[in-house]
Structure 1
Amino acid sequence: MTKKFYRSTQDKLIAGVCGGLANYLGWKADTVRIVYVVASLLSAAFPGLLVYLILWFIIPEDSVPS
């Protein structure tokens, strides 16, 4: 069984990118968010925001039954 990277619909603040990455890696979502913000700030913030927006549009949402 292969793991797939999806945006989270359950654990999201903005678009679910960090929540989906946390699910994929098996980490806590808050840890991924903190690492992402720190990495974005160290790269002058713009590339981090651009990467997040790109991932928002290209990564599909997970299909969790309601």
Structure 2
Amino acid sequence: MTAPTRRLTRSYDDKWIAGVCGGLAEYLGWNANIVRLLFVLSCLLPGPQFLIYVALWLLIPKKG
């Protein structure tokens, strides 16, 4: 038997803005609130975190 393949998709059920953090949490098997907290904390550091979020919003397909 083969394991089901995992696909990275934006979450439809567990989303606040676009479902990116919820989708990443589902893919990694983490709690979505932890992923959101890590994203918010990363925004306190210098870097393109917000642009990366927008890019993931555009590139990751919506769960359908």
Instruction: Establish whether residue 20 from structure 1 lines up as the match of residue 23 from structure 2.
Output: yes
Structure 2 equivalent of residue 52 of structure 1: 53
1:14 is displaced (CA, Å) by: 0.3
Supply the distance in 1 between the matched residues of 2:27 and 2:43 (Cα, whole angstroms): 20
Instruction: Please report the RMSD computed on the Cα atoms of aligned residues, expressed in angstroms.
Output: 1.0
Q: Deviations over 1:5-56 (max 9, x none)?
A: 0000100000000000000010110000001111121125xx1110010110
Structure 1 equivalent of residue 41 of structure 2: 38
Count of residues in correspondence between the two structures = 61
Q: Which amino acid aligns with 1:35?
A: L
Gaps of 5+ in 2: none
Q: Which amino acid aligns with 2:54?
A: L
Q: Percent identity?
A: 51
Gaps of 5+ in 1: none
Q: Which amino acid aligns with 1:53?
A: V
When normalised by structure 1's length, the TM-score is: 0.86
